[in-house]
Amino acid sequence: MSEVAKAPSAAFWLQGLGLLVGAFAIGCTEFLIVGLLADIAQDLNAANDRSGLLVSGYAFGVVAAAPLSAVLVAGRGLKRMLFAFLILFVAGNVFCAVAGSFEALLIARIVTAVSHPGYFGVAAVIIGVIAPPRRRSQMVALLFTCITAANVIGVPAGTAIGQALGWRSAFVFVAGLGGAALALNILFLPNAVGRDATARTFSEICSIINNPAVKGLLVSVISSICVFSVFTYLAFILTLVTNAPGGAIPVYLLISGVGSTIGGLASGFIGKGNLKTAILGLLIAQLAILVVFYFSASQPIWTGLVILAWGAVSFAAVPVCQLLVMKMAGPLESVASIMNQGAFNIGIGVGAALGGLWLDLTGSYATLPLLGAFLAALALPAARLLLKDA
């Protein structure tokens, strides 16, 4: 059998299983909180609009940790660093589960977020090392597909567990996934995965500011802001506007995850065309969907259909933006790729904060989709201007 056709062996899947489980666990922990915000706010006596800080705090933790992780990993043993990030991840979720106050939970979320960019950066290198040479790109893609799988399976399951057994049990569930990933990697990950050979410095990372890709990074930011100004508070909208029972919220999150999967698959085809046109088209689609959401949020069936379409459009934009940033970066492609993860999380944090500010000013969950549509309307000319020369 030729090297091109050779599929990954059973030994590879055993060695890589822990990496995939870890990616799934971290994918769960970022968005699991969305379905539990109402329960957490009530239990910890926090205002509903303030609870969005648990989403934005995690996002800003990822942003702060991304450049630090890139420098920290440089020249060090990859396996050892992977274990360190997983231990931090498990500890952070355990602290979330036992937090006695809203402030303690927020700090624990930020601590957990520090493991996010480092884990994916190291795991992507390791899975490329242990995979068959002609299958490396596919295996790295599979690692990041675990985030989609987390949205489809892990987030609804974790939300259901949290609603049935209390929100703290959801963090125990995720910590258990992280512990399982750590155990699998200790048992099966080979020692010969090497060291990170890239000597990154803060000056190299900061040089992206003068690169054309910075315009693409800004597009990633504004795209995420439009989504998370509304998505952060989806559980509240479903409860207070759609009047969905608590047990239905995991179902809606599952529908959103299915939409994300569809969008992720579609992005592979969308990304083959003009990336600038694709991004502008996705922003227009998002604006239209959020307007429809405003008028249909009180209708459970229509809400499900809108969430499906919204998940598809929102998630399709992520890899398209990633491809555009990498294309614009030239020789700084790897640095831009790392920093784009931070850009998305800046958008998540700012979007959650803007949604919270809107609620603080208006107290209206029903009009949150209009806020998202308004932000998308502002994002369209901004993106067009930023990408004028792309």
Give the model's confidence band at 75: pLDDT under 50 very low, under 70 low, under 90 confident, else very high.
Answer: low
Tokens 């299915």 sit on residue: 258
CB-based contact 229:372 (threshold 8 Å)? yes
pLDDT on residue 6: 54
pLDDT on residue 3: 42
Q: How far apart are CA 371 and CA 147, in angstroms?
A: 27
Domain shared by 273 and 366, yes or no: yes
Domain shared by 312 and 351, yes or no: yes
> Residue 253, Cβ neighbours under 10 Å: how many?
28
Lowest mean pLDDT among 41-55, 77-91, 105-119, 223-237: 41-55
Domain shared by 223 and 175, yes or no: no
- Could you tell me which of 101, 23, 115 has the C-alpha nearest to residue 65? 115
pLDDT on residue 334: 62
**Predicted confidence (pLDDT) at residue 108 exceeds the cutoff of 60:** yes
Domain count, the chain: 2
Domain shared by 15 and 118, yes or no: yes
Domain shared by 183 and 254, yes or no: no
pLDDT on residue 5: 44
**Predicted confidence (pLDDT) at residue 4 exceeds the cutoff of 60:** no
> Residue 243, Cβ neighbours under 10 Å: how many?
11
Q: Which residues of 282-314 are buried (b: 16+ CB within 10 A; e: fewer)?
A: bbebbbebbbbbbebbeeeeebbebbbbbbbbb
Domain edge (last residue) among 171, 200, 229: 200
Q: What is the pTM of this model?
A: 0.74
195 has which bridge partners?
A: 77
At 226-235, the pLDDT tens digits run: 999 999 899 8
Q: Is residue 21 part of a domain?
A: yes
**Residue numbers of the domain that contains 140:** 7-200
Q: Is residue 1 part of a domain?
A: no
Q: Is residue 39 part of a domain?
A: yes
At 257-308, the pLDDT tens digits run: 888 878 877 876 776 778 889 999 999 999 999 999 999 999 999 999 999 9
Give the model's confidence band at 369: pLDDT under 50 very low, under 70 low, under 90 confident, else very high.
Answer: very high
CATH number of the CATH domain containing 153: 1.20.1250.20
pLDDT on residue 44: 92
What does the pLDDT average to over 141-165?
Answer: 81
Domain shared by 81 and 229, yes or no: no
